[in-house]
Amino acid sequence: MDPWSWICELPESHDFSESDTHAVFQLGGDLTRSIQLRVERDSSSDLESLSLTFKVMAEGFSHLKSSAIWVSNTCVLSSEKPFLPLVLQLLQELISYSPTTDESTCTKSELLKIKPGPVNWVMDSHSPESFSSVFNLILITRLFWLCVFDAPSEVGSFFFQHLLGSQVESLTCQHAPVLRTFLVSVGVDAELCIVRAASYVISKWMISKEVGLGNLGLKQITSPLPHQSFGFSYATEAHGLWSLKGYFPILSMNLANNNKIIKFRIVEPKEAVLRYALSHQHAEVIVQFEYSVTFHENYIKVNARVDNIRIHVSNLGFNKRRGMENQIADCYTEEKYFPSRVQVWVGPEIGSNHVSALSLGWSTKNEEREIEVMRVLKGKFWKGKGKVAPRVKARARMSTRRKIKDWRTEQESEGNAAVFDAVLYDRESGQEVMTVKPSQEGLKNVFTKSRGMVFGRDEYGDGAEWRVGREMEGSVLKWRMGGKIWLTYWPNKLCTSFYETRCVEWCDEVDLPLVPTT
């Protein structure tokens, strides 16, 4: 589906004939029903200022008062950027409908106004074929709110069956570099609104696939489909920082460990509702490396250290709206996934032969432990009768106590890549959280109030160093970054035997210019 190229190829004003008053692009349909994008020209406007109006039409549905379910503002063909107002309108409406989180305090989607300059720059600097991925993301997400929230249920079901499934990959930026450029250009506040909206749509699509559309409750939501991890992930470089971002719906992450639920067993209603509520959560991960390049007589030194790792699990919903879904969300606000292991790595591109050495800046921890030993001895002594020797009966008890950290961080290497690992351990058993059953006490004071996690630069020592031959001066190298996170669910205030761990892995690369600065 490429509606943007179709829009860009609409005839100029002098090519419109009197009889050809509209054109139609089929978004999705079957033999009797369809969802269309229609453009209509204003018959009252002259040829010099011909204006167009775009409409989303739902044809063949019995419960609609009007087949036009959305109408755009007017676009003037003779203007310098005739279709920029259409893109801005769809984008602004998408952001206004973006789901909120329980912790949303700074990012208010209803107050965010999109500036036309960055959007115009992305449109100018990319071909229509390239910008199509951005427009598809905006249009599909806007159509979701339109068909599912504002139209009769038969339109929403039709949207899931005939449109969303074939276009769901449009809601990711794993294969479209222009989406990365677009998200960076519009700013991080707009980026959060866009990725949360897209994650919500992906989550709904995956739920509909797993339970069977129209048969809610007849099938379970526990077994994931074999699929890739849908989501947004990209890396950027700015001001001495390499940044790696990842946004992933929980359902799109792979199962790493669970309590071995029988695949087709009957799920208790309370447990099914819990999993439905958990399915609307998504992970927001930001990894920042501080890097520097220094030039020496015989080599170039590249240094990188972890500046920040931030992981936040958001529960996506709509606080403004009333309905069953909000009531479910309110009942399960305390039930959340939490990060149980984090692994990030950085290094030159695979197969590079110009890096001669890697040096890590931190030794393996020989943790100091506080051990308290307590011995209790109880006994009895009495004389025997006759010539039997006296007897002693004793009982001893010993207990120990030690101090350990909840999070244990390590540095390792794999080839020329430096690997930074952090693992959460259970206090009761001393084992990794992601490998054990929930303890009775659970986890306390390990995360932020929203059950997220922040690692600062003091957790990983002095970082890592690479030495590059001086002959590479003036060239631009590719440097790769990657991340893998594990998210675990343990019951918090709910009495249930359900628990599981999910994981996702991604990587990207940035440019590293080896140019001396004066």
Residue-by-residue DSSP string for 343-395: EEEEEEPTT--SEEEEEES-PPP------EEEEEEEEEEEPPSTTPPPEEEEE
Q: Residue 460 sits in which domain range?
A: 91-364+403-509
| Main-chain dihedrals φ then ψ at residue 409, nearest 5 degrees | -110, 145
Note the maximum CA span of the chain: 131
Res 167 pLDDT > 60: yes
3-class secondary-structure state, position 159:
helix
What is the per-residue pLDDT for 446? 67
The answer to whether 90 touches 142, Cβ cutoff 8 Å, is yes
| CA angle at 157 for the pair 153 and 158, rounded to the nearest 5° | 115
| 89 or 498, higher pLDDT | 89
Question: Does any domain span residue 339?
Answer: yes
Contact 53, 45 (CB under 8 A): no
Asked if 215 contacts 239 with a C-beta cutoff of 8 angstroms, the reply is no
Tokens representing 271? 């447990």
Q: Structure pTM?
A: 0.83
153 found inside a domain: yes
Containing H/E element for 140? helix 128-144
Residue 389 domain flag: no
Q: Residues 425, 103, 144, CA angle at the centre, nearest 5°?
A: 110
- Do 63 and 107 fall within a single domain? no
Q: What is the mean pLDDT of the chain?
A: 79
Neighbours of 364 (CB within 10 A): 9
Tell me the angle at which helices 128-144 and 116-125 cross, rounded to the nearest 10 degrees.
140
Is 490 in the same domain as 468? Answer: yes
Residue 92 clears pLDDT 70, i.e. is over it: yes
Picking from 83, 108, 128, the residue at the C-terminal end of a domain is 83
Cα distance between residue 278 and residue 318, in whole Å: 15
Lowest mean per-residue pLDDT among 80-94, 290-304, 433-447, 486-500:
433-447
Same domain as 256, residue 190: yes
Higher pLDDT residue, 479 or 434? Answer: 479
Position of tokens 């020592």?
461
Q: Give the mean model confidence (pLDDT) for residues 463-478.
A: 90
Residue 226: inside a domain: yes
Measured between alpha carbons, how far is 123 from 103 in angstroms, rounded to an integer?
34
The pLDDT of 115-136, averaged and rounded, is 91
Same domain? For 244 and 226 the reply is yes
Number of domains in the chain: 2
Percent of the chain at pLDDT exceeding 70: 73
Interval 244-268: pLDDT, tens: 999 999 988 998 865 554 444 455 6
Selected residue with higher pLDDT from 371 and 505: 505
Whether residue 258 sits in one domain with residue 115: yes
Same-domain pairing of 250 and 356: yes
Whether 132 maps to a domain, the answer reads: yes
- The answer as to whether 421 is a domain residue is yes
Q: What is the pLDDT of residue 291?
A: 93
Q: How far is CA 139 from the centre of its chain?
A: 20
Tell me, yes or no, whether 221 lies in a domain. Answer: yes
Per the domain annotation, does 382 fall within a domain? no
Regarding whether 96 and 74 lie in a shared domain, the answer is: no
Based on the fold, state whether residues 96 and 184 are members of the same structural domain.
yes
The residue out of 83, 100, 124 marking a domain boundary is 83
Secondary structure tally for the chain: helices H, strands E:
10, 20
Helix or strand (DSSP H, E) at 211: helix 188-211
Instruction: End-to-end CA distance of the chain: give it in Å, rounded.
Output: 50
Domain final residue, candidates 58, 83, 108:
83
What the block records as the tokens of 24 is: 């139609």
Torsions phi, psi for 514 (to 5 deg):
-100, 70
What would the DSSP string read from start to end of 82-102? Answer: TTHHHHHHHHHHHHHTPPB-T
- In terms of phi and psi (left: phi > 0; alpha: psi -120 to 50; beta: otherwise), the region of 361 is alpha
478 and 457 in one domain? yes
Residue 461 has φ and ψ, to the nearest 5°, of 70, -150
Highest mean pLDDT among 132-141, 164-173, 267-276: 132-141
Please check whether residues 35 and 96 belong to one and the same domain: no
- Provide the pLDDT for residue 224: 39
Overall average pLDDT of the 65-72 stretch: 88
Whether pLDDT at 490 is above 70: yes
Is the pLDDT reported for residue 220 higher than 50? no
Same domain, 129 and 22: no
Q: Is the pLDDT of residue 61 over 70?
A: yes
